[in-house]
Amino acid sequence: MTSKGVDMAVAGETRPDLGRRMREVLIGRPGSLNTRLRTRRMGMLLERFPDLEQMEVIDLGGTVRTWTRAPKRPKHVHLINFEPPVDEVPDWVTVELGDACDLPGHLRDRRFDLVFSNSVMEHVGGHEMRRRFADSVHRLSDRHWVQVPYLYFPVEPHWVFPMFQFLPLPLQTAFAVKWPLSWGTRPRTRAEALPMVLEIELLSRTQMRHYFPDSTLLAERFAGFTKSLIACRTD
């Protein structure tokens, strides 16, 4: 291989690593922009639920890390997720593998002080599954805090790409393969990219008001734009 060929091969190997490092700066690592925004959002939660430390909370689709890094923790957290936790589970957290859109039988008649969900509802898969998710929220508690990324924020938050959500599907899959900040493990082909693109459906105000008609709809803002919507009910 020529020197130029070696240089091109090395560049090809390092480009994904550079993308991952850039994504960590924006989203992944402690101190990243996304982490700071989540911390600010947790402050908004505490303003509206100042008695959080005395609450039993059910987190639909969440992670242990959300709560171990929170400035205040609830009395107990019950996590429902498809995937097992990657972090050590403290004794005040219960993790259950399950589907928030189809609750395990033993939870259907159980009540919690608060239902919490962060950036989950846009992943559940279409209107019918979102309706079931919202039904689970209403069934589990009178009080809830359900956050979703906003459809009309100019940068799609999963792909970190401007206006990605409004591109035609063929362009979305093409960009997903090439874009170094692609969500998750970057797909190698358009066929791999397609289910990843189809999985995410950002929500509008109209949709959130439909699913949570008795809630206050809060707007989390960044750089003058609404970045996410939060359906909040405190009583």
* pLDDT cut 70: percent of the chain above it: 86
Residue 16 covered by a domain: no
Structure tokens belonging to residue 56: 């039993």
- pLDDT on residue 90: 96
For the chain, what is the domain count? 1
Could you read off the pLDDT of 46-86 as tens digits, one per residue? 999 999 999 999 999 999 999 998 999 999 999 999 999 88
Residue 225 covered by a domain: yes
Residue 135 covered by a domain: yes
Residue 141 covered by a domain: yes
Residue 165 covered by a domain: no
Give the CATH number of the domain where residue 232 resides: 3.40.50.150
Could you read off the pLDDT of 7-20 as tens digits, one per residue? 333 334 444 565 56
Residue 141, domain extent: 51-155+213-235
Model confidence, pTM: 0.86
Residue 163 covered by a domain: no
Residue 224 covered by a domain: yes
